[in-house]
Chains A and B, each alone.
Chain A
Amino acid sequence: MAQRTATIASSVGLHARPAALFVEAASDTGLDVEIARPGEDPVDATSILGVMALGAKHGEEVVLTADGDGADEALDNLVALLSRDLDAE
């Protein structure tokens, strides 16, 4: 199982537009991707409501996990996405 830690770069946190972009990208991987606050129960990364309900704010860390072929590459791409200020784009 692949795992990565990412820091939320979006100034408004992981909600609204940034959350929508992240969920779309996670769905596009075709894998079962999960996202969690460190040490807490993970939620489905393809669920916009689940992702928003994490309440991850600017500068906070989240843990991504995925299984299957291409999981490492998929997570690297998602980490790169979270490291951009999606709200400013």
Chain B
Amino acid sequence: MAGESTEALLGIGVSGGTAYGPVVKVAPAVRPPANEPATTDPDTALVRVKAAYEKVAADLEERASTSDDTAQQILKATALIARDKGLHKATGKQLVAGLGPATAVDAAVEEYAAQFEALGGYFAERVTDLRDVGSRTIAAVLGVPAPGIPNLVRPSIVLAHDLAPAETATLDPALVAGIVTEAGGRTSHTAILAAQMGIPAVVHCGGALDIPAEAMVALDGDTGQVSIDPSADFVAGMTQRRERRTAALASSAGPGRTSDEHRVALLANIGGVEDAVAAGAQDLEGVGLFRTEFVFLSATSAPTVEEQTSIYRAVFEPFGGRKVVVRTLDAGADKPLSFADLGPEENPALGRRGLRLSAIRPDLLDAQLAALAAAAQETEVDVQVMAPMVATAEEAAWFARRVREHGLPKAGVMIEVPAAALRARQVLADVDFASLGTNDLAQYTMAADRMQGDLADLLDPWQPAVLDVIAAACEGGKDTGKPIGVCGEAGGDPLLALVLVGLGVASLSMVPSKVPVVRYALGRHTLAQCQHVAALARQARTAADARAAVRHAADQDVVEIL
């Protein structure tokens, strides 16, 4: 740590790197005032409201004109909603009924929102865009700042309660130097997107929105520290650290290995064709987790084998002769499919999800395996298939049999359930490999909901109990001679990566932006040193102690750039 700042907040660093700049606050959604006067002249009021809708549409189109393709489509479609005649008519009716202008906009928006929500699935997702238009129009009617991210004119630190998917999609990495949110956790949407875009980010940072609007802020996306109006010395120290980091990372390349040449494959986590193209161009050894949900979640009927084959081919192609580990469909009550909805559940995380859904609907799994086999045949890629949410040896054997029946050579399982970790020797008997999903493994080991930001401390993968469970799984790997990888967020934490390798993990899969720093950390330690820090972490009493002990024992050149 270089220098002291006057005031600092601590959150969870989820996307590495440092940033310093002026604060820009994301304005919250605007609601109509409860005491808005009733409309007495609906015709005049409608003219005013229509002008507000038009202003919103024009603003969105203006932003669309300077955005990339994906953001442009989202923004243009949203502008179309603001210009919608039906929405204007519905608003007019509410004005005639006597509602105040802002209240009338809100009522008209909610009328459509209710219809979309009743339709469910993909249609329900549009409600966010619709309400966004409503909130912007209400702001225009009231003459207050529009909600969302203001137009940035210089590199800034974006401060928000949380960021909506549509907002994150439109972030310009050239102008967003860093992100700080009050809500969210390690695996929240903001965290994943920021890491993918390489923007330093700190989430779950209490008090962030109280930072004054004119403040300068320095943030550290590795330690989670957010410093308000830091001294020049502090910023200089932080900047120096960043430069050292850039130089250190540039010095490491090629396959992952310890300083004594123990190989540890460094792989990417991807969730779609765009990710695949981006990761395929990077210096990494393949894909350790290809999440296939996107193929299914956007469909209203089960995608055909042909449709799936062409998607998988597009994902495999960028990886040439490298390996791609595919996780079969991981859906359930929290990620419902319109064509395989088993209904709501009290505890979706403990319900019929992952392989359990595949057991109820083997037709979906068979179609996916057939498509994967066909796509694998057409490319050079070493395709390996693994099942999510496996708890028992029978489930693992059932899955492996189906994979092999489709002519796919390698079958594996995710180890996310402590039961599977404790019985890894038996679970591995009929499969070729396993991959630790550390996010869910922490959730199930600590009985702490991943979606509950207040429980972030319990979900810390440094929790010694989680490390013990991982160690048990690795014992099973050693006994059977089968490789165990890690594909949760833990694999992308350079110090934790040392611990995992020390416990016996054979590969680490992470968001691609984390690969260089993990490669550098590994290259500065021998396998014996990794085993030593693993022992220190397991001996620690708390997660914080474990982290501190490893930080102290690790090579200081590595620690200094974190």
Do A and B bind? yes
**Pairwise interchain contact B86-A16, C-beta atoms closer than 8 A:** no
**Pairwise interchain contact B123-A49, C-beta atoms closer than 8 A:** no
State which residues 288-335 of B face A: CB under 8 Å.
298-301, 303, 307
Residues 35-71 of chain A: 1 if any B CB is under 8 Å from the residue's CB, otherwise 0?
0000000011011111011010111000000000000
**Pairwise interchain contact A58-B300, C-beta atoms closer than 8 A:** yes
Residue B62 CB within 8 A of the other chain = no
Give the distance in Å from the alpha carbon of A58 to the alpha carbon of B119 in the complex. 14
Given A47-B86, A49-B84, A53-B119, also A20-B126 (CB < 8 A): no
Beta-carbon nearest neighbor of B118 in chain A: A55
The SS class assigned to the B binding surface is: helix
Given A12-B298, A12-B299, also A50-B86 (CB < 8 A): yes
Beta-carbon nearest neighbor of B129 in chain A: A16
**Pairwise interchain contact B85-A15, C-beta atoms closer than 8 A:** no
Residue A17 CB within 8 A of the other chain = yes
- Select the stretch in B17-25, B27-35, B72-80, B158-166 that faces chain A: B72-80
Given A12-B299, A16-B77, A17-B73, also A52-B85 (CB < 8 A): no
Residue B116 CB within 8 A of the other chain = yes
Give the distance in Å from the alpha carbon of A60 to the alpha carbon of B122 in the complex. 16
Beta-carbon nearest neighbor of A14 in chain B: B123
Give the distance in Å from the alpha carbon of A20 to the alpha carbon of B126 in the complex. 13
Interface size on A, residues (CB 8 A): 22
Give the distance in Å from the alpha carbon of A50 to the alpha carbon of B76 in the complex. 17
**Pairwise interchain contact B300-A46, C-beta atoms closer than 8 A:** no
Residues 106-146 of chain B: 1 if any A CB is under 8 Å from the residue's CB, otherwise 0?
00000010011001001100100010000000000000000
Give the distance in Å from the alpha carbon of A17 to the alpha carbon of B130 in the complex. 15
Partner of A58, one of B80, B86, B301: B301
CB distance from A28 to the nearest CB of B (A): 13
Residues 6-33 of chain A: 1 if any B CB is under 8 Å from the residue's CB, otherwise 0?
0000011101110010011000000000
Beta-carbon nearest neighbor of B108 in chain A: A49
Beta-carbon nearest neighbor of A55 in chain B: B119
Residue B465 CB within 8 A of the other chain = no
Contact partners of B87 in chain A: CB under 8 A: 47, 49
Give the distance in Å from the alpha carbon of A58 to the alpha carbon of B300 in the complex. 8
Residue B99 CB within 8 A of the other chain = no
Beta-carbon nearest neighbor of B86 in chain A: A47
CB distance from A50 to the nearest CB of B (A): 4
Contact partners of A52 in chain B: CB under 8 A: 116, 123, 126
Query: Which of A12, A44, A58 has most B Cβ within 10 Å?
Result: A12
Partner of A48, one of B73, B81, B122, B123: B81
Contact partners of A13 in chain B: CB under 8 A: 122, 300
CB distance from B130 to the nearest CB of A (A): 7
Give the distance in Å from the alpha carbon of A46 to the alpha carbon of B301 in the complex. 27
Contact partners of A16 in chain B: CB under 8 A: 77, 122, 126
**Pairwise interchain contact A11-B307, C-beta atoms closer than 8 A:** yes
Contact partners of B300 in chain A: CB under 8 A: 11-13, 57-58
**Pairwise interchain contact B119-A43, C-beta atoms closer than 8 A:** no
Residues 76-97 of chain B: 1 if any A CB is under 8 Å from the residue's CB, otherwise 0?
1100110011110000000000
**Pairwise interchain contact B76-A48, C-beta atoms closer than 8 A:** no
Given A12-B298, A12-B300, A13-B300, also A49-B77 (CB < 8 A): no
Contact partners of A46 in chain B: CB under 8 A: 85
Give the distance in Å from the alpha carbon of A13 to the alpha carbon of B301 in the complex. 10
Contact partners of B301 in chain A: CB under 8 A: 11, 57-59
Partner of B116, one of A11, A47, A53, A57: A53
**Pairwise interchain contact A44-B85, C-beta atoms closer than 8 A:** yes
**Pairwise interchain contact B77-A17, C-beta atoms closer than 8 A:** yes
CB distance from B306 to the nearest CB of A (A): 12
Residues 258-301 of chain B: 1 if any A CB is under 8 Å from the residue's CB, otherwise 0?
00000000000000000000000000000000000000001111
Contact partners of A17 in chain B: CB under 8 A: 73, 77
Give the distance in Å from the alpha carbon of A12 to the alpha carbon of B126 in the complex. 13
**What residues of chain A have their CB less than 8 Å away from a CB belonging to chain B?**
11-13, 15-17, 20, 23-24, 43-44, 46-50, 52-53, 55, 57-59
A-B residue pairs in contact (CB < 8 Å), sample of 26:
A11-B299, A11-B301, A12-B122, A12-B298, A15-B126, A16-B122, A20-B80, A23-B80, A44-B85, A44-B86, A46-B85, A47-B84, A47-B85, A48-B77, A48-B84, A49-B86, A49-B87, A50-B86, A52-B116, A52-B123, A53-B112, A53-B119, A55-B119, A55-B123, A57-B301, A58-B301
| Interface pairs A-B: 8 shortest CB-CB | A47-B86, A55-B119, A50-B86, A53-B115, A49-B84, A48-B80, A49-B112, A57-B300
Given A11-B300, A55-B119, A57-B300, 19 extra CB contacts under 8 A: A11-B299, A11-B301, A12-B122, A12-B298, A12-B299, A15-B122, A15-B126, A17-B77, A43-B86, A46-B85, A47-B85, A49-B81, A49-B87, A49-B130, A50-B84, A52-B116, A53-B112, A53-B119, A58-B301
